[in-house]
Structures are given as structure tokens and as C-alpha cells.
Structure 1
Amino acid sequence: MGTVVFIIQLLLGLAFLFFGLMKFGSKQMTEEFARYGYPQWFRVVTGIVELAAGVLLLAGFWNDQLTAWGSLLATLCMIGAVVTHLKVKDAAAKFTTPAVLLILSAFLLYVNSGNF
């Protein structure tokens, strides 16, 4: 299972870096957070949390405790994302990506839960 966990950790780390950076400069993200009814400062905070999760997940290749913290941040962030999409009654296709990221993050959190 080591290779599978390695690949999941790498993909999640890169995904959270990508999506975190999008929160800072994407017009689409600005519009989406307004549609969700969230203030724009929350978009920035969400971006910072996602970037932190991505950095921790990638740094976790050298320190398992960082993977545990990164996967915890990622899981909590994706719970918020899925709840938000449900709250605004988005179509399932709109929150498929956050749901998949939630499942993968929760799996990685479970695998690393002994590293806190």
C-alpha cells in the first residue's frame, strides 16, 4: 500500500497548492465565494489553509507528522467545501472534485492518524 499512499499524498499536495493559489487570483473563485454568500476575506483564508495543507502534505515525505497535519487540514477544508455546495444546492457535478478530495484526504488522515 506504500506506493498507493505515496501517489495519493503527492496528488493531494499538488492539488491543494493549485486550488489554494486559485483562491488568490481567479475571477471565478471571487465570483463563486460571492455566490456562496461568503465574504472575500474568507476566500483568502481558505486559500491560505489550502496552501498550508499542500505544503504540509509535500513536506510530509520527509516527516510523517507533517503528513498527518496536512491531511487533517485538507479533510477539514473539504468538509467545508462539500457542506457549502450542499448549502447552495449545487448540482452533484459541481462538488464532485471536493468530495473526491475529501475521501482521499480522509483516507490519508486515517493512514497517518498515529503520527500526531
Structure 2
Amino acid sequence: MEYFIIALKIIVALSLLNVWLLQFNKSTKWRGGNAKNMIEEFRAYGLPAWMCYVVGFLKVTLSLLLLASIMYPELENTAAIGLALLLSGSISMHIRIKDPMFKFLPAAIFLAMCLIIALI
């Protein structure tokens, strides 16, 4: 079970780091509304651009903490629960603007993974 949790941590953390560091200014099929980049996505949700940077900072920091929790288990719950809360917010924003389900499916999967990490 330990290796399974480690695998989940790596998958979640690297996926979120990819979204926020490598895909930030790129168009993807998962962007909310008709957004072409992360700033446009936050605007589609009716949120100010500065909020994008706050959420991005939190997601990157918590993703790094999730990776660090492989060696420092005391970081695990903080990182997993923090990411779960942020991912819940992502899902609610997609629902709020009536995005089709496929657009928030990745966030839902990562939310489930974070909950497994935190609860097992």
C-alpha cells in the first residue's frame, strides 16, 4: 500500500506542476469556458487575474509539499487536504459556468487521489 500512495503522490504532484508551470499559457481542452490560457480561465469564472496567481502559488507549493511528503510523512495531510480543497474549488467553478463534465474530470480524479492519500 505504501508504494501505491507514493505513486498517487507523484501522479498528482507532477500533473498539477505540469498544469501550472508548463501549460499555464497554453490552450487545452480542459480550460474553463472558452479560455485559451490560465488567466482567461479565471476570468471565465468571474475571478480577478490576481486570484490566479494566489491559487497557482498554493497549488505549486502544495504539490511540492506532496512530493516532499514521500520523505517527510508529516507533510502528507497538509498537502493532500490543501490540494483537495483547491481541487474542490476548481470543480465548483467549472460547474458554476456550466462546463461539460469532461472539463472538470481531471480535477475530480486528482481530488479523489488526494482524498485517498489523506485518508489511508
Which has the larger helix fraction? 1
Alignment of 1:1-116 (within 5 A): 1-21=1-21, 25-26=25-26, 28-111=37-120
Partners of 2:83 and 2:18 lie apart in 1 by 13
1:62 CA drift (Å)? 1.2
Q: Is the 8 A contact 2:87 2:108 kept in 1?
A: yes
Residues 41 and 69 (structure 1 numbering): CA distance in 2 closer, same or farther, change over 3 Å? Answer: same
Task: Tell me the TM-score normalized by structure 1.
Answer: 0.87
Task: Tell me the TM-score normalized by structure 2.
Answer: 0.85
How many residue pairs end up in the alignment? 111
- Which 5+ residue runs of structure 2 have no aligned equivalent? 27-35
Which secondary structure does the structure 2 equivalent of 1:83 belong to?
helix
Alignment deviations for residues 64-97 of structure 1 (CA, whole Å, 9 cap, x no partner): 1112111011101101001111111100011111
1:20 CA drift (Å)? 2.8
Partners of 1:18 and 1:67 lie apart in 2 by 20
- Which 5+ residue runs of structure 1 have no aligned equivalent? 112-116
